[in-house]
């Protein structure tokens, strides 16, 4: 795309612009390219919107045949509004006024008397998609990284530049509100199927010519269907809003995440009056933007971007992975790597141990792949390998056998002579220090930890564990590998339990102590979710697996763990391993715990819930302090990131260290 722009001999009509380039071709079509100065990606801020307003002034005075808006960057179309600018505000009215200024610019774009086309390649999110919605016609490439959506709800806010208005007009209330409330980022063909965009061209097609054709043929959005328009009517809104609130409450506590509920109210109350809806949108985003919840979620966004940066490397590219151990963790790690485009060999003692992992992989590929052909191609990259022939060719070797130091050491003795000198050797151990495991290697500095979390396909964090003698090169390669498979790498110092399990062990131990005092598992889990945790500690123990919990608690639990260890030992020996065996502390049905009292009812009737939540979280937070003091990670920001993405710690609180600091202030 930038190459095309460079080849285009058209003169820049407004040379004083810093972030935009405007030109008109021989057919009279205006081409407006965004290239935000000194930034890798395009975002919309006060300066970029002011310049866009100048461009629109010029176009209204010198009307072209039509206008095409594109990006001059390879990193995508427009990634959204520049959150950094809004974070400076502490007053809701100031945010609202800035948003209204942006709305006015998009109103001018929407009102231009000639055809306007948004030509999208790459990410078109938030304010970027709101700009596209203000155009007459939207074309997007079917490139791998093209994503369309309004993810503002994930930042604790709502679309403020007309997104709630224009998207529900375009696709109807039901589809539009679903997209806004979930914050989902859609692939181009998914977005086209929903009516969010008008045309899809292949990733290698000439987007420029597709956009030119759309202008010449005066193509415009055809308008929402009758059924879609009906979902915006008053009677339908009343019914649908109630359903939306019910579904949202299952996922988001309104006390913790008010954004989705304000979005529903906005649509329900104002959809009949377009101008009033724009006004309310600007007011609501102002109130949400300065809230503690939004501040916490925006902090999480920045932490996520930092973790992503740790996984970016041009020095190391992994093409082949060898996984040893086809249990739940090993098999799912192998499947995920294959899904991300790598050739994967999966080793275990006999084929009968690999077969269940292959069946789980088939289900994952069917769910995640875009087509049957892609699912089949992905499955072909996952190769059973009982003899371990993949060791010699692998760029990364991941050991994921059971938690036993001697067994792991025996394995390393056997595979080290067969490995390439530059290959990464990693263990998925949950708690065993690297120094103990690597002592049998002739080159101990090559061993690192790549500690995944269960379920692999959902948990975004991987702890990249290093010892004092670990090779920096291997740690960097491990982090780059995580980035290549779409996971956030967190470098952590080797110590019992590393970061996440060390914190979780104290948390789950306290939960078991409370359980032994006669408090029900439902009450304990309800108190944790009341604080903002995604699941309670008892359900979490079942989900992780009671055998794994036993190993972690034994390794890192500290004093007074004998009672908990005895309980877990008895349960494991009886075959009650938690979710994976169908029973643990809970009975499990269809992947969900069976509760004697539904959690919402439990929350409503508990009068000591705040005190119970505080008691549960106290050892959790104290252990975070201890990890910080021990230097388990580089700094407290990375500690917060690891705990949020590794344990699900209440995101709206911005991380445990941040929470404790703000609580004290």
Q: Are residues 274 and 203 in the same domain?
A: yes
In a domain, 78, yes or no: yes
- Residue 644 domain-assigned? no
- CATH number where 614 lies: 1.10.1040.50
Distance CA 49, CA 576 (A): 59
Q: Average pLDDT, stretch 280-293?
A: 96
Domain assignment present for residue 549? The answer is: yes
**And the tokens for 619?**
């050892």
pLDDT at 330 over 80: yes
Determine the distance from the C-alpha atom of residue 595 to the mean position of all C-alpha atoms in its chain, rounded to a whole number: 29
Domain span at residue 393?
A: 315-496
Residue at a domain's end among 496, 521, 546? 496
As a whole number, mean pLDDT of residues 189-201 equals: 97
Distance between CA atoms of residues 387 and 354, nearest Å: 12
pLDDT band at 554 (very low <50, low <70, confident <90, very high): confident
Judge if 183 and 279 occupy the same domain. Answer: yes
Please indicate, yes or no, whether residues 442 and 518 belong to a single structural domain of this protein: no
Q: Do 310 and 475 contact (CB within 8 A), yes or no?
A: no
Q: Is the pLDDT of residue 664 over 70?
A: yes
- How does strand 382-384 pair with strand 396-399? unpaired
Same-domain check for residues 481 and 514: no
* pLDDT at residue 628 in the model: 97
Q: Is 451 an active-site residue?
A: yes
Predicted confidence at residue 1, as pLDDT, reads 37
Domain of 336, CATH number, reads: 3.40.50.720
In this structure, is residue 588 part of a structural domain? yes
Q: What pLDDT is stored for residue 204 in this prediction?
A: 79
654, pLDDT greater than 90: yes
Residues 462 and 506 in one domain: no
pLDDT over 70, % of the chain: 98
pLDDT tens, 444-468?
999 999 999 988 999 999 999 999 9
Strand residue runs (E) in 332-487: 343-347, 382-384, 396-399, 424-427, 447-451, 461-466
Residues 139 and 195 in one domain: yes
Q: What pLDDT sits at residue 373?
A: 93
Q: Categorize the per-residue pLDDT at 203 as very low, low, confident or very high, splitting at 50, 70 and 90.
A: confident
- Residue labelled with tokens 């990284």: 145
Residue 655 lies in a domain: no
Q: Is 60:112 a contact under the CB 8 Å cutoff?
A: yes
pLDDT of residue 557: 67
pLDDT (0 to 100) of residue 7: 42
Residues 6+ apart with CB under 8 A from 74: 1, 2, 122
pLDDT value of residue 544: 84
- Rounded CA separation 266/138 (Å): 26
Report residue 88's pLDDT band, with 50, 70 and 90 as the boundaries: confident
Stretch 589-611: mean pLDDT, rounded?
85
Helix axes 292-310, 636-647, angle to 10 degrees: 100
For residue 378, pLDDT over 60 is answered with yes
Span 391-411, mean pLDDT?
95
Q: Tens digit of pLDDT for each residue in 213-242?
A: 999 999 999 999 999 999 999 999 999 999
- The answer as to whether 286 is a domain residue is yes
Residue 643 domain-assigned? no
Beta-bridge partners for 427:
399, 449
Residue pLDDT, tens place only, 467-505? 999 999 999 999 999 999 999 999 999 998 899 999 999
Same domain, 542 and 464: no
Who wins on pLDDT, 492 or 2? 492
Residue 604, pLDDT above cutoff 80: no
Per-residue model confidence (pLDDT) at position 452 = 96
Cα–Cα distance, 271 to 275 (Å, whole number): 9
Asked if residue 594 and residue 472 are part of one domain, the reply reads no
In a domain, 299, yes or no: no
Q: In terms of residues, how long is the chain?
A: 665
pLDDT tens-digit readout, 516-545 = 999 999 999 999 999 999 999 999 999 888
Q: How many domains does the chain have?
A: 3
Residues 488 and 513 in one domain: no
Give the pairing of strands 20-24 and 29-34. Answer: antiparallel
pLDDT at 558: 66
Residue 35 DSSP class? -
Domain boundary among 290, 323, 340: 290
To the nearest whole percent, how much of the chain has pLDDT over 90? 84
| Active-site pick, 270, 322, 451, 658 | 451
Domain co-membership, 41 together with 185: yes
Dihedral sign computed on CA atoms, order 377, 382, 383, 388: positive
**pLDDT given for residue 4 in this prediction:** 42
Is 471 in the same domain as 506? no
Question: Which structure tokens are listed for 223?
Answer: 């308008």
Q: Does 2 score more than 60 pLDDT?
A: no
- This prediction's pTM: 0.88
Give the rounded distance of the alpha carbon of 96 from its chain centre: 28
9 band by pLDDT with thresholds 50, 70 and 90: very low
Quick one: pLDDT band at residue 3, thresholds 50, 70, 90? very low
Residue 6: band (very low, low, confident or very high) from pLDDT cuts 50, 70, 90: very low
Q: Are residues 420 and 520 in the same domain?
A: no
Domain end (from 432, 462, 496): 496
State mean pLDDT over 126-135: 98
Nearest to 523 by CA among 604, 446, 428, 402: 604
pLDDT score, position 571: 94
Q: How many CB atoms lie within 10 A of CB 312?
A: 11
Under DSSP, the state recorded for 581 is: G
- 24-79 pLDDT per residue, tens: 999 999 999 999 999 999 999 999 999 999 999 999 999 999 999 999 998 899 99
């Amino acid at each position: 795309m930038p190459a095309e722009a460079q080849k285009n001999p058209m003169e820049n009509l407004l040379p004083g612009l810093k972030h935009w380039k405007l030109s008109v071709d021989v057919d009279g079509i205006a081409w407006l390219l965004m290239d935000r100065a000194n930034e890798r990606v395009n975002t919309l801020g006060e300066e970029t919107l002011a310049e866009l307003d100048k461009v629109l002034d010029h176009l209204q005075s010198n009307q072209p045949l039509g206008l095409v808006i594109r990006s001059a960057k390879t990193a995508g179309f427009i990634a959204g509004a520049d959150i950094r600018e809004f974070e400076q505000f502490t007053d809701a009215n100031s945010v609202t006024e800035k948003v209204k200024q942006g709305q006015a610019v998009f109103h001018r774009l929407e009102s231009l008397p000639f055809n306007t086309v948004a030509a999208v390649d790459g990410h078109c999110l938030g304010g970027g998609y709101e700009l596209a919605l203000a155009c007459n016609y939207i074309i997007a490439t079917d490139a791998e990284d093209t994503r369309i959506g309004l993810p503002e709800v994930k930042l604790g806010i709502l679309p403020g530049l007309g997104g709630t208005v224009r998207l529900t007009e375009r696709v109807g209330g039901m589809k539009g509100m679903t997209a806004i409330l979930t914050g989902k980022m859609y692939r181009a063909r998914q977005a086209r199927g929903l009516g969010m965009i008008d045309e899809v061209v292949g990733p290698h097609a000439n987007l420029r010519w597709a956009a030119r054709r759309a202008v010449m043929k005066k193509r415009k959005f055809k308008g929402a269907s009758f059924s879609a328009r009906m979902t915006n009517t008053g009677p339908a809104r009343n019914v649908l809003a109630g359903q939306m609130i019910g579904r949202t409450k299952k996922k988001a506590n309104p006390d913790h995440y008010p954004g989705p509920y304000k979005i529903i109210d906005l649509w329900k109350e104002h959809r009949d009056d377009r101008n009033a809806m724009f006004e309310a949108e600007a007011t609501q985003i102002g109130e949400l933007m300065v809230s503690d919840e939004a501040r916490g979620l925006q902090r999480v966004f920045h932490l996520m971007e930092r973790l992503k940066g740790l996984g970016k490397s041009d020095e190391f590219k992994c093409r082949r992975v060898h996984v040893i151990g086809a249990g739940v963790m090993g098999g799912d790690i192998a499947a995920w790597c294959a899904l991300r485009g790598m050739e994967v060999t999966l080793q275990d003692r006999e084929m009968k141990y690999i077969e269940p992992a292959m069946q789980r992989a088939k289900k994952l590929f069917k769910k995640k792949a875009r087509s049957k052909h892609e699912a089949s191609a992905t499955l072909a990259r996952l190769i059973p390998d009982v003899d371990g022939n993949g060791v010699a060719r692998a760029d990364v070797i991941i050991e994921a056998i059971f938690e036993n130091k001697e067994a792991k050491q025996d394995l390393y003795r056997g595979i080290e002579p067969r490995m390439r000198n530059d290959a990464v050797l990693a263990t998925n151990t949950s708690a065993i220090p690297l120094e103990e495991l690597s002592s049998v290697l002739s080159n101990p500095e090559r061993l690192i930890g790549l500690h995944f979390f269960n379920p692999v396909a959902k948990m975004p964090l991987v702890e990249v564990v290093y010892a004092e003698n670990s090779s920096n090169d291997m740690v960097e390669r491990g982090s780059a590998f995580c980035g290549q498979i779409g996971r956030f790498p967190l470098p952590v110092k080797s110590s019992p339990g590393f970061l996440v399990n060390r914190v979780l062990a104290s948390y789950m131990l306290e939960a078991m102590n409370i359980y032994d005092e006669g408090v029900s598992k439902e009450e304990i889990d309800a108190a944790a979710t009341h604080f903002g945790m995604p699941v309670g500690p008892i359900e979490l123990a079942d989900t992780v697996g009671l055998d794994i919990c036993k190993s972690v608690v034994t390794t890192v639990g500290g004093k007074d763990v004998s009672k908990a260890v005895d309980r877990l030992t008895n349960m494991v020996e009886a075959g009650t391993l938690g979710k994976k065996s169908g029973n643990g502390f809970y009975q499990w049905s269809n992947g969900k715990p069976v509760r004697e009292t539904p959690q919402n009812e439990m929350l409503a009737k508990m009068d000591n819930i705040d005190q119970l939540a505080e008691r549960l979280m106290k050892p959790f937070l104290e252990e975070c302090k201890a990890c910080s003091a021990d230097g388990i990670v580089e700094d407290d920001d990375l500690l917060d990131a690891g705990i949020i993405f590794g344990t699900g710690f209440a995101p709206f609180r911005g991380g445990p260290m941040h929470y404790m600091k703000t609580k004290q202030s």
